[in-house]
């Protein structure tokens, strides 16, 4: 019984150790710096809102201070807004 507890504890600790080493990638858009990915996500939600995606009509996410001071965030926001706006406008529901 104690061997089982030891094995389970070792597996849990190993999983936690591996998880702490993983990249902090958000999974939004093309890979980039954490700042770029945050900007892309914010821009994407905004693009969906501008395009009238259901449940996103009032969405506008932009950290104005960061947009002006952080080139990675700005680039991500600009790309995300454009990509998601175009994606939504090209969807069959919008036709």
Residue 66 lies inside a defined structural domain of this protein: yes
Residue 14 lies inside a defined structural domain of this protein: no
Residue 53 lies inside a defined structural domain of this protein: yes
CA atoms of 86 and 30, how far apart (whole Å):
16
Reported as a pLDDT band with limits 50, 70 and 90, residue 4 is low
Domain that residue 82 falls in: 25-94
Q: Burial of 57 by CB count in 10 Å (0-12 exposed, 13-18 middle, 19+ buried)? A: exposed
Residue 70 lies inside a defined structural domain of this protein: yes
Residue 11 lies inside a defined structural domain of this protein: no
Residue 17 lies inside a defined structural domain of this protein: no
pTM of the shown model: 0.67
| 38 touches 27 (CB < 8 A) | no
Residue 1 lies inside a defined structural domain of this protein: no
How many structural domains is the chain composed of? Answer: 1
pLDDT, tens digit, for every residue of 33-86? 999 999 999 999 999 999 988 888 888 899 999 999 999 999 999 999 999 999
Structure tokens at 70: 């952080």
Residue 78 lies inside a defined structural domain of this protein: yes
């Amino acid at each position: 019984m104690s061997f089982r507890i030891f094995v389970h504890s070792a597996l849990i600790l190993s999983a936690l150790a591996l998880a702490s080493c993983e990249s902090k990638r958000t999974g939004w858009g093309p890979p980039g710096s954490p700042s770029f990915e945050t900007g892309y996500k914010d821009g994407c939600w905004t693009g969906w809102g501008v395009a009238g995606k259901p449940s996103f009509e009032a969405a506008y996410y932009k950290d104005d201070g960061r947009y002006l001071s952080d080139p990675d965030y700005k680039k991500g926001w600009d790309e995300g807004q454009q990509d998601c706006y175009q994606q939504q406008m090209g969807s069959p529901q919008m036709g």
